[in-house]
Structure 1
């Protein structure tokens, strides 16, 4: 039989635009009519573009073939191969030799042989490999499918027979080695329209070894951000809660709102119900979370008032949101309501309101905020709920509200900078908050801290009952002048006015004791503090050649203002934290808040030395002292919280303060700051820290922080406080790392190991130990690569004699966390000693 074969070939690449009408030779026109005519009928008028070195028409076999670096483009899909053959009898396209199909999403499919329909949507592929890259939280994620034979249907579904799936890269040195993890299944079905991957008869393998089997499961494909379906299961192992499990369900109701339901079945406590509603609107978003349980075994918790052992129903309601009014203004809220102070911790309920800056508490707030080019406005209300056993809710303030406004301008007639600062604060509480200064003055009839003797010399008032409101406004001006010899003069002035309204409540629990401190009538009190001052600096600069320079800079500052008034007659709510060190030496007003206003004439003197050199070398030292030149020393006269006493500023000549900072290069730094007694130069306060990164010589980074504060009995610290914190991370390999930290309590004063008598909660005494006390410790090992994150960590925290969680628990914990990217993550946390476990979670 004679074969008729026509070849169109050139020395360059022969390109045929199919579905186009043109004057081509007959064989090529046949190709156009054969394959192109089948595709040109699509409603979008898409064209098939074929690029090849040679196009062959075989009339005997009724086939058309393109060979030599073939590339075919149609509807966003690109088919590449050494040879592509179109069989007009069957309407099938065969691609062989380095076959590669790229779809519109960027997924790359490779195989030994493709058998496809003429629109590339359906067909079979031998020795299939699919590589797809997406972005997850800003990080690229590459997934890989493989199968000895796969079928494409309608361009939307790919079925992998005896398929494998992984997000791990193959080993560069040995590509045939199994990846770190992979899923092998009898069938893997990837449905692009549903954006779902289904696994049938599946096994999870780690380093080629099977570790888990599931007859059937499904996951969203890596392109999915949100999709209706069941989430990864969660399980619980806890002596307090029992064994339990939940299978959260996520309902993507609409593109901008969804609902998650997560009932957890606990063998010891019953069913914990949790739900979260999320809603995104045009100008912002909000969410609502609820959790609740009618607990079955109350004996797992301490009895009232030390725990929730007397409660049946426990729960929480939380909501958070933020909305933008325009590009400068926004408002929002973060509100939490809980049935009791222990619920969130006992049942490990996630809460956006939790804060642990000083003590663990739940902070609810409603706010309005604006930001200008040189102005700032913030108004918000607060509701604080203490979450430890010793917190008494009646002593917690309700802030309604606090307003801050700050504006900076440059006046043309004065130059420099003019500023306006406004603060308005209004708060109330039901019960006064007292703090005993000595152990003998602690009341023994209540679990809440209070005083047995309400004497201002033995008891502090941290917060008064009733209502306290204050409005403060400060207008300031400063301008810098440099004279011909390089001296820097900065005159400044400010005036501050405060108006107080105080309405103490002397009714209720121990509130009548406030009469020892405050007058009985409602008071409107006004305070004004004008001030003028000047700051002087004279930097002496010496060049170190091309390697750097050094600067010696004497600094002097003097501020004149009238004496502070109403000391001790006004509550102090926001100025109780006073730390005198190098950072506050040249502050105009060294109090931390608005309830106190520094008065009198004060001079601040210091000298600063700075060196900069080659290889990022930097060193800085500052030493100085403050002097009360004239008038009443605000830090010598105590207020209701004794703020100012034992601060280092209470004497006419203050303690000395200093700082030394050295950074030889970008990998090492050392900084220490200290306060020295003005009489004998004893160290009253010292903080020192060193950070070291030994790369590239050694993959190790460490930090060491030491702090010691002498006793300050007049402000509630009767003993010295001293501690040492060390941390280290060693990157053993690019993927494996070891890390650890230890916190040592060096003052060696410990709470006596007394047994708590629940019916008579006496405060435990203190003893002095000979050995150093390990206050907290942790050690862990971690592994990270492109597809897997694994960490195992052991931690130890001090046992709380006051049992702030309300549980009969202990404090040694092992945590295991494993994330298989695109599949899910699991976290298990287990207490390993004593009588209670901790929750384990699998996601």
Structure 2
């Protein structure tokens, strides 16, 4: 043989020693995280070095999606030293590519055996195998690679001291293995790796981490590891998880999924604490019962309450999907902290059921059931401000359907009081049952006929009960041009009641009348009246400039006339009606009351003016509006201010001036403001200011002030301040001027590194609307979260709290 390097081409493709790829852990714990093999692969370390900064959540968004997992802080090109960046990255080229073999020496004196030595290089498309020596038996397909064995393909890197096996039997053994998964950043070592067949492999003394090669801040070590691709299950023996080389979790035996298939097993444990229930620890167990349904069991231990078992069952059937949640705590050990009924020694529970099922044609059934054993349950076991501050649990079940011009529903609603400080009388009426029918039928291109119809039976202990029918048909026209619109509408509203026996004992403020008889003695009261409106407007525009940028400015005057004749309605009960908060959109509403129990009288004219600035892309950068209603007749329909008496009508001729302003001249900051001033009382009725400012790519500042006369006055400030590339400070403070106390205070810190992120957050928050002096009215909590990138979060509970508490958090 010649001593010069030799090149052989067109060997059968299957004879390339690609079996080395199967010995890596890509088929192991993280296979589900790799990209599809048909896609050209880019090494994760290279991708993070060149990737663009993740776009921030748009200013003003109430719910920002979680920020994608980032490895931007990892070392650029932190790859195993033998990585060849010139190698193609498209695995789809393998079948159509020749195999090139280069070696300093080739011995083929035995026609069945190839002996290659000296810088052996076997390459096909994205696959490359290098070694000091390779022996290959063309008859038996046995192979033996020795000395500095290195294998590379689009998805992984692998090195070993010795690699031997049989291609046809899909069997191979590698000694002293190092591996790296290029698409999911996983890397580690194994003392020995063995491919038993195409579906099964096993490893000894194996490690795994997503940190930089040679710099493992966290690492999973296992004495033995078995991979079964047929079932999608990996089995580890003697596994230890280490952080900063300190073991903190040991599992003598556990199984885990290796692909997208679900797998039964334990989830990460969580822990927390509260003033009312003490320290909590839980470790959920996931049950993969079938491809279309699963369950999770979560035992929790509360040091002040006892042991609670929570469970979740989810299902997905043809035409049906739903979820069932239940919690049960026997023999509560805790003391009552609010002076109300004691829960000590009682069995306590929570039930939640949700289902959506298609029935036939356009019809479907939807239900949501939420019930608790007592009024303290949500406050005692809620794990954040948003859960523990819930005052009512709503349940409903409806059959509904719809088409192009109609929609209908039939069902029921029920409510449960879960606020220990408020009496049950504050809970809404049960709507038992309720039916609706909506129509919107176009008659011509400018004229529509529509109707809103509702029939409800209202049920509630200790107050007047009865049935109500509300019919609301209308004709609506729409005439418009490029710079104008005229929208007349004519409607008729008929509302009728059938009250239950004993109605004479109640005042229609909803309360029992003591020592007297209610003056409202009609068992079947009704109300009928027409409603007419005319909505008109003009739209002018011009080109203008501001701060060196060109904009299109609009000027939009609008007049809205509403006529509703007065009908005496004091003899109508109040089942689901309240006065709605007055705001800009109320200037153009046909009724100031929610529900059908009251229809305001009106002979009103609203005048409003809006101006906007639109940039060259049509994005609205500024919007300012002001408006007021002029009353030609007094507001005579009012809500009762006592069990029987009614509130006096207003004799005002003008409503509040209502103004609103929204400004966002660029993507770095935005401002929204509302203001209402009453010319009748010469007082401010409402004022609000919201300011949001982006700080760098990962920071944000929010400030808001909210005032509504005699109801609320609050300051709310929150911020995410990036100190460096790795550190961020978090904070929020909400202060109630009326109550003279802090509603919520939050402070925390985030640390981000290549493969680990840490959050520590401390919170103080009010959990109920009870008296300030009540013990247990507020709660203190400290939350800790440790995130292992590519593996999950330990004790993950802080992200939802931060995303809902700090506007713009990601």
Does the pair score TM above 0.5? yes
Counterpart residue number, 1:475:
474
Whether 1:216 and 2:252 are equivalent positions in the alignment is: yes
What is aligned with 2:694? Answer: 693
| Shift in CA distance, 803/63, structure 1 to aligned 2, threshold 3 Å | farther
Query: 1:340 is matched with which residue: 374, 380, 386?
Result: 374
1:558 deviates by 1.5
Q: Distance in 1 between matches of 2:758 and 2:404?
A: 45
Aligned mates of 1:98, 1:328 — CA distance in 2: 64
C-alpha separation in 2, matches of 1:613 and 1:18 = 60
CA contact (8 A) 2:408 2:437 kept: yes
1:70 corresponding residue in structure 2:
122
1:556-580 CA-to-partner distances (Å, cap 9, x unmatched) read 22122322x2422222333314222
Deviation at 1:742, TM superposition (A): 0.9
Change in Cα spacing, 1:726 to 1:560, as seen in structure 2 (3 Å) is same
Asked if the contact 1:52–1:68 (Cα under 8 Å) also holds between the matched residues in 2, the reply is: no
Aligned partners of 2:13, 2:751: CA distance in 1, in Å? 52
Task: Output the aligned Cα RMSD.
Answer: 4.4
Residue number in structure 1 paired with 2:462: 431
> Is the contact made by 2:529 and 2:564 (CA closer than 8 Å) also made in structure 1?
yes
CA gap 1:512/1:573 in 2 versus in 1, 3 angstroms: closer
Change (3 A) 1:422 1:153: same
Give the match for residue 167 of structure 2.
118
Q: For each residue in 1:86-120, what CA deviation from the matched residue of structure 2 results, as whole angstroms up to 9, or x when unmatched?
A: 23697532357774377xxx964522453232237
SS at match of 1:585: helix
Q: Distance in 1 between matches of 2:523 and 2:253?
A: 70
1:305 is aligned to: 340
Q: Which residue of 1 aligns with 2:205?
A: 162
Equivalents in 2 of 1:305, 1:420: separation in Å?
A: 47
- Name the structure 1 match of 2:588: 586
Residue 524 of structure 1 aligns to a residue whose secondary structure is coil
Report the alpha carbon displacement of residue 477 of structure 1 after superposing the two structures with TM.
0.5
> 1:625-644 counterparts in 2 under 5 A?
625-630=628-633, 633-634=635-636, 638=640
Flag the 1:539–1:385 CA change in 2: closer, same or farther, 3 A: same
The structural deviation recorded for 1:224 is: 4.3
545, 548, 551: which is aligned to 2:551? Answer: 548
What does residue range 139-150 of structure 1 map to in structure 2 within 5 Å?
Answer: 142-150=185-193
SS in 1 for 2:513: helix
Residue 420 in 1 paired to residue 454 in 2?
A: no
Task: Specify which of 378, 381, 384 is matched with residue 412 of structure 2.
Answer: 381
Aligned to 1:92: 142
Determine if the alignment matches structure 1 residue 776 to structure 2 residue 744.
yes
| Residue in structure 1 matched with residue 12 of structure 2 by the alignment | 16
- The 3 A distance-change label for structure 1 pair 791 and 86 is same
Pairing 1:256–2:292 present: yes
Aligned partner of residue 631 in structure 2, secondary structure: strand
d(CA) in 2 for partners of 1:364 and 1:212?
Answer: 44
Rate the CA distance shift 1:49–1:707 in 2: closer, same or farther, 3 A.
Answer: closer
Contact 2:265 2:285 in 1 (8 A): yes
| Matching residue within 714, 722, 731 for 1:723 | 714
Structure-2 separation of matches of 1:646 and 1:69: 96
Structure 2, unaligned stretches of length 5 or more? Answer: 18-93, 799-810
Provide the residue aligned with 1:177 in structure 2: 215
Q: CA deviation at 1:148?
A: 4.5
State the SS of the aligned residue for 1:51. Answer: coil
Task: Give the superposition deviation at 1:210.
Answer: 1.3
Q: Distance in 2 between matches of 1:244 and 1:625?
A: 54
Do 1:52 and 1:69's aligned partners in 2 also have CA atoms closer than 8 Å? Answer: no
How far apart in 2 are the matches of 1:131 and 1:329?
A: 53
Instruction: Choose the corresponding residue for 2:326, options 290, 312, 321.
Output: 290
1:218 and 1:528 mapped to 2: Cα distance? Answer: 71
1:152 Cα shift? 2.1
Q: How does 1:223-234 map to 2 (within 5 A)?
A: 223-233=259-269
Matches within 5 A, 1:207-606: 208-214=244-250, 216-233=252-269, 247-264=283-300, 269-295=305-331, 297-298=333-334, 300-302=335-337, 305-309=340-344, 311-325=345-359, 328-348=362-382, 359-373=390-404, 375-393=406-424, 396=427, 397-412=429-444, 415-432=446-463, 465-482=464-481, 486-503=483-500, 505=502, 512-513=512-513, 519=519, 521=521, 523-544=523-544, 547-563=550-566, 565-606=567-608
User: Which residue number in structure 2 is paired with residue 52 of structure 1?
Assistant: 99
- SS of the aligned residue for 1:346 comes to helix
Deviation by residue 1:8-55 (Cα, 9 ceiling, x = unmatched): 967xx4243679xxxxxxxx9xx9xxxxxxxxxxxxxxx999932249
- Between the two proteins, the alignment pairs up a number of residues equal to 705
Answer whether contact 2:526 2:572 (CA < 8 A) is retained: no
Give a deviation string over 1:102-153, Cα, whole Å, max 9, x none. 7xxx9645224532322373222245344558xxxxxx95533432432222
**Unaligned stretches of 5+ in structure 1?**
20-27, 32-46, 134-139, 433-464, 712-716, 751-771, 831-843
Tell me the CA shift for residue 280 of structure 1: 2.4
Shift of residue 783, structure 1, vs aligned partner: 4.0
| Cα distance change, pair 349–367 in 1 and its aligned pair in 2 (3 A) | farther
1:428 deviation in Å? 0.9
Given that 1:307 and 1:805 are in contact with CA atoms closer than 8 Å, whether structure 2 keeps it comes out as no
- Residues 130 and 146 in structure 1, CA contact (< 8 A), matched pair in contact too: yes
* Residue 819 of structure 1: aligned partner: 787
* 1:151 equivalenced with 2:200 (yes/no): no
Contact 1:555–1:605 (8 Å) recurs in 2? yes
Summarize deviations over 1:491-544 as a string: whole Å, max 9, x none.
232222222233365679996427979556562233222233322323333222
2:670 equivalent in structure 1: 669
Comparing 91-100 and 333-342, the one that deviates more: 91-100
TM-score by length of 2: 0.75
* Distance in 2 separating the partners of 1:328 and 1:821: 45
Q: Distance in 1 between matches of 2:421 and 2:703?
A: 33
Q: Distance in 2 between matches of 1:378 and 1:734?
A: 54
Task: Give the corresponding residue for 2:653.
Answer: 652
Larger RCO (CA under 8 A, 6+ residues apart): 2
Q: What is the Cα deviation at residue 618 of structure 1?
A: 2.4
Q: CA deviation at 1:182?
A: 1.5
Q: 2: distance between equivalents of 1:390 and 1:259? A: 35
> What is the CA distance between 1:294 and its match in structure 2?
2.5
State the secondary structure of the residue aligned to 2:198: coil
